[in-house]
Amino acid sequence: MPDPKNPLSRLDRQELVWLSGILKDACRERLERNLVSQEFEARLYRRGPVEGRLDPRPFLKLWEPRYRKFLEVAKELQATLEGEQARTSLDSLRWRMGSAEGVERLGPAHATPEPAENRSRRKSRSG
């Protein structure tokens, strides 16, 4: 039963993977915008301070490491969720297929395996 206090409990696994992808993309875009803004402000202030305008450079530099950290965490979160999803899918497939150890050959039901003596007499193409 979903926890009513946790908003993420309303999402299924695939929706959580999508959400983490959206978060990762948003963090990357924020970091890129921050870097572009820092470069723009640095060029602007090379000419000298702009009268009547606060210098945003310290705030931009303050947020850059945070955006990098958020991006790293979002990447790890998405990788973890995708890994869990792949593991769950693999386990599900294994369960559906059952144990295939007793199966000698998968293929058409009418096909019979070639006798061992015929296989050993076959000429190789390389020789």
pLDDT digits over 33-88, tens only? 999 999 999 998 888 888 888 899 999 999 999 999 999 999 999 999 888 877 77
User: Would you say residue 116 lies in a domain?
Assistant: no
The pLDDT of residue 100 is: 53
Looking at the predicted structure, is the pLDDT value of residue 16 above 80?
yes
User: Would you say residue 29 lies in a domain?
Assistant: yes
The pLDDT of residue 109 is: 63
Q: Which of 57, 12, 51 is CA-nearest to residue 34?
A: 57
The pLDDT of residue 88 is: 76
3-state SS of 69-113 is HHHHHHHHHHHHHHHHHHHHHHHHHHHHHCCCCCCCCCCCCCCCC
Distance CA 68, CA 71 (A): 5
User: Would you say residue 32 lies in a domain?
Assistant: yes
The pLDDT of residue 85 is: 76
User: Would you say residue 121 lies in a domain?
Assistant: no
User: Would you say residue 122 lies in a domain?
Assistant: no
The pLDDT of residue 65 is: 96
User: Would you say residue 124 lies in a domain?
Assistant: no
Domain, as residue range, for 35: 7-97
**Position 116 confidence tier, pLDDT thresholds 50, 70, 90:** low
User: Would you say residue 109 lies in a domain?
Assistant: no
- Structural domains of the chain, count: 1
Q: Record the pTM.
A: 0.61
The percentage of residues in the chain with a pLDDT greater than 70, rounded to a whole number, is: 73
User: Would you say residue 18 lies in a domain?
Assistant: yes
